[in-house]
Structure 1
Amino acid sequence: MPLTDIALKKLESSERPYKRSDQNGLYVLVKPNGSKHWHMKYRFNNKEKLMSYGPYPLISLKEAREKRDRDRKLLLEGIDPSTVKKERKLAAEIDARGRFDVLAGELLEKNRLEGRAENTLKKKSWLIEMANKDLGKRPIMEITPSEVLVVLKKQEKAGNLETASRLRTTIGEVFRYAIASGITTNDPTIPLKGALVRKRVQSRAAITDPVRLGELLEAIDAYSGYRVVSLSLKLLAILHVRPGELRHAGWDEFDLEGAKWVIPASRMKMRSEHVAPLPRQAIKTLEELQGLSHPDALVLPSQSLKIKPLSENTFNQALRKMGFGKEEMTAHGFRATFSTLANESGRWNPDAIERALSHQDANEIRKVYARGTYWDERVKMAQWWADYLDELQLLQQLQLKASERKENG
């Protein structure tokens, strides 16, 4: 007998859930707490399946029958109602979170949870904010390559070629995240490869002439500004690490007795831990720095606020004050200085030099094999390099004394 509203209202709870049938597979399930829920039992491809329509009386008897009849029509057409329901749910989810700015925010949060460097997150957030001005409110499924190109061309026309390139990369990341999330199937930045004016790549300025390098080392020693800056530049020359890796270094990363510095993966460009051997000169410099900072703080504290590191521009500003222009030398250039002169010496395996620079091998199999190699050679190379720098500085000092004697007759 079909159900009626009067019969439905009279259904009382029991210790166990029970069913009361209507017609054509529709029934109401009464739970021990007294709640009543509509369901339809059906078969598809010889499998028994179930559709849920919601609670009574929120879903009335009439509405439940309408839903049942709708799904029975789908069955007559050879369509599984549960598949259609899933598609409707996905469409609703896409409608709710399918905007570019929502997915871009989710991507940023994912990057934070993955432990990306704070500086990397700031740059990406800045680029996403830039993209959101034009694309933020748009459904990501509807964004076309031409729309993205308009956004990128704004930066290109302003002369910001590097920003335009990075913006394309970041927008592409948002789309790839959306694809992985099942929100869209297309990345409109792919057809734009080659559509932008390429920025002419310029290597960072670096001194590779030994005589001029000796002059630089002597200038660093004679620097009259904040002593921490002078010592940090000396460490950059000796250890040839990236400036950011040194600026944010903490004392807990250094083992002066074991003569090594372990830079955690979270602060490395390639997100992989790097161990650097410490030659005697580096240890001596670090020991002097210990007297200028707190053991629980940063190795290179800011002069104005000890809990903060030296600012990003400090090194290059100091080099300018010493008379070394941006076309001649940069803080990052110490890496190129070491690479050039170490390779030219012919003493060291090029792979050991690359490992010392924390460069990753593009060949994954080779990278795994080489992970633990070259340490002994790198220890010897580190000491050779520090000694070589001392020799260059000593030659400069002797040259200065000879010039003084000549001037004094």
Structure 2
Amino acid sequence: MKLTDPVIKAAKPQDKAYTLSDGEGLALHIQPTGAKWWRFRYRFNGKPGLLSLGTYPDTGLKAARLERDRLKDLVKQGIDPSQNRQEEKLIAKIVSENSFEAVARQWWKDWRSTRTERHAEYVLRRLEADVFPVIGNKPVTDITTPLLLMTVKKIEARGALDIAKRALQTCGQIMRYAVAHGLAERNPAADVKPADALKSAKKTNHARLSAKELPELLRLIDAYDGQPLTRLALQMMAHTFVRTSELIGAKWEEFDLEARQWRIPAERMKMREEHIVPLTDQSLAILEDIRKLSGNRPLLFPSERGEGKSMSNNTLLYAIYRMGYHSRMTGHGFRGIASTILHEQGYPHDHIELQLAHAPRNAVSAAYNHARYLEQRASMMRDWSKYLDAVKAGAKVTPIRKTA
């Protein structure tokens, strides 16, 4: 007699396991614990075989019968169901180990060693948010150009054009890694460039004030009534015009106050090269005030939350907003202001670019190292600090002295 759901539900556990047959090799084994297991018995090449088909009610009666019928068809085709299941598990394991996500995470582990921790973590977060949910479970061998384009087009559709472009580039790196390690035969991302498939995004510069607005900003920074360390961080940024991440991650061990130098290590620099910032009288005075507040902690600007982390870049941005410069100025804006004014005052372009730690622009710049023109740069920075003090005080400033 065929089984029915009421019969199965009514079956109670006994002292010993027993079986309810549904026919054609399918039976339900009732365990003393109450567990109800589906079993399929068959013969292949004269030898008996037994497979588990799951438990009831997770696997219902109808599903168990469908699976039994599928396995019977395999036997008719000359395929051992047990061997077939082992092969399917092996294939699934290979697919899992060579899925796009698995390969991407292995690529990331190797790739991250030459990047800053912050940048590496950002790339992984973007993959987890935008790429893995779409193609992460697909074998790298199944990744095609249309599939990659569909993935980045979804990112583009929400207006994140730059993220879409970077996602396509990152996927290309991952697929090159797969090819190099024998996990895929070709890189489908090589067939298309971001500009071929994605909309062009209008390039915008970081918001910054004009030189005429700088004096008022400096005065508002001095009068800032928020956290003292935030005020000192903004003052330090104005005098050194380093990147926000370079400032908030600063450690006391990087400073040689006697030599009047701040040496930012390569691993914290965008260009992956050590950067020297000459310290002026004004920046040294700011550092003295910072020391009084940060004490013996390794970071100049520790987070208020503790945990050994540095101040957030948003802390500086929100402070600038509080002073009335929302959407008009950012921490990065100090770099643009300094570059504009110093160029207008006639300082050599290469000296300014080197102090900004920009990427080399030509063969001459490429020959520079982090210590080239250090004396001239130190003089330029001294003049810059004097210029800031003068305009903040409202003085009519004559052109600051040009360096040779």
How does the TM-score come out when normalised to structure 2? 0.71
Shift of 1:154: 0.8
- SS at 1:207 equivalent: coil
Report whether the alignment pairs 1:274 with 2:267: no
Shift of 1:397: 11
Shift of 1:142: 2.5
Task: Determine if contact 1:127/1:170 at 8 Å carries over to the other structure.
Answer: no
Q: Sort the Cα spacing of 1:168 and 1:180 in 2 relative to 1 into closer, same or farther, 3 A.
A: same
Write the deviation string for residues 365-409 of structure 1: whole angstroms up to 9, x where unpaired: 7523555421111000010111000011011799xxxxxxxxxxx
Report whether the alignment pairs 1:123 with 2:117: no
Task: Determine if contact 2:274/2:370 at 8 Å carries over to the other structure.
Answer: no
Write the deviation string for residues 154-198 of structure 1: whole angstroms up to 9, x where unpaired: 111122212211211211121122222232343222333221012
Write the deviation string for residues 52-91 of structure 1: whole angstroms up to 9, x where unpaired: xxxxxxxxxxxxxxxxxxxxxxxxxxxxxxxxxxxxxxx9
Q: 2:228 corresponds to which letter in structure 1?
A: R
What residue is the counterpart of 1:65 in the other structure?
none
Shift of 1:312: 2.1
Task: Determine if contact 1:98/1:140 at 8 Å carries over to the other structure.
Answer: yes
Q: Sort the Cα spacing of 1:96 and 1:161 in 2 relative to 1 into closer, same or farther, 3 A.
A: closer
Q: 1:200 corresponds to which letter in structure 2?
A: K
What residue is the counterpart of 1:393 in the other structure?
392
Task: Give aligned-pair identity as a percent.
Answer: 35
Write the deviation string for residues 197-221 of structure 1: whole angstroms up to 9, x where unpaired: 1221110011232x31000000000
What residue is the counterpart of 1:155 in the other structure?
155
Superposition pairs of residues 213-224 of structure 1, within 5 angstroms? 213-224=214-225
What residue is the counterpart of 1:169 in the other structure?
169
- SS at 2:154 equivalent: helix
2: CA distance between counterparts of 1:175 and 1:250?
Answer: 38
Report whether the alignment pairs 1:225 with 2:260: no
Report whether the alignment pairs 1:178 with 2:168: no
Q: 2:337 corresponds to which letter in structure 1?
A: T
Superposition pairs of residues 256-335 of structure 1, within 5 angstroms? 256-305=257-306, 307-326=308-327, 328-335=328-335
Q: Sort the Cα spacing of 1:104 and 1:385 in 2 relative to 1 into closer, same or farther, 3 A.
A: same
1: CA distance between counterparts of 2:213 and 2:352?
Answer: 22
What residue is the counterpart of 2:42 in the other structure?
none
What residue is the counterpart of 2:41 in the other structure?
none
2: CA distance between counterparts of 1:192 and 1:101?
Answer: 21
1: CA distance between counterparts of 2:254 and 2:344?
Answer: 31
What residue is the counterpart of 1:137 in the other structure?
137
- SS at 1:320 equivalent: helix
Q: 1:179 corresponds to which letter in structure 2?
A: V
Report whether the alignment pairs 1:109 with 2:97: no
1: CA distance between counterparts of 2:296 and 2:111?
Answer: 31
Report whether the alignment pairs 1:345 with 2:339: no
Report whether the alignment pairs 1:239 with 2:240: yes
Task: Determine if contact 1:218/1:397 at 8 Å carries over to the other structure.
Answer: no
Task: Determine if contact 2:145/2:189 at 8 Å carries over to the other structure.
Answer: yes
Task: Determine if contact 1:94/1:183 at 8 Å carries over to the other structure.
Answer: no
What residue is the counterpart of 2:199 in the other structure?
197
2: CA distance between counterparts of 1:266 and 1:349?
Answer: 27
Q: Sort the Cα spacing of 1:170 and 1:358 in 2 relative to 1 into closer, same or farther, 3 A.
A: same
Write the deviation string for residues 92-148 of structure 1: whole angstroms up to 9, x where unpaired: 998674321111011121134x15222212211112212111211222122111111
Task: Determine if contact 2:101/2:137 at 8 Å carries over to the other structure.
Answer: yes
The count of aligned residue pairs is 304
Report whether the alignment pairs 1:99 with 2:95: no
Task: Determine if contact 2:232/2:286 at 8 Å carries over to the other structure.
Answer: yes
Task: Determine if contact 1:226/1:303 at 8 Å carries over to the other structure.
Answer: no
2: CA distance between counterparts of 1:219 and 1:397?
Answer: 19
2: CA distance between counterparts of 1:102 and 1:370?
Answer: 39
- SS at 2:198 equivalent: coil
Gaps of 5+ in 2: 1-90, 398-404
2: CA distance between counterparts of 1:142 and 1:249?
Answer: 45
Task: Determine if contact 1:217/1:393 at 8 Å carries over to the other structure.
Answer: yes
Shift of 1:236: 0.6
Shift of 1:362: 4.5
Task: Determine if contact 1:240/1:338 at 8 Å carries over to the other structure.
Answer: yes
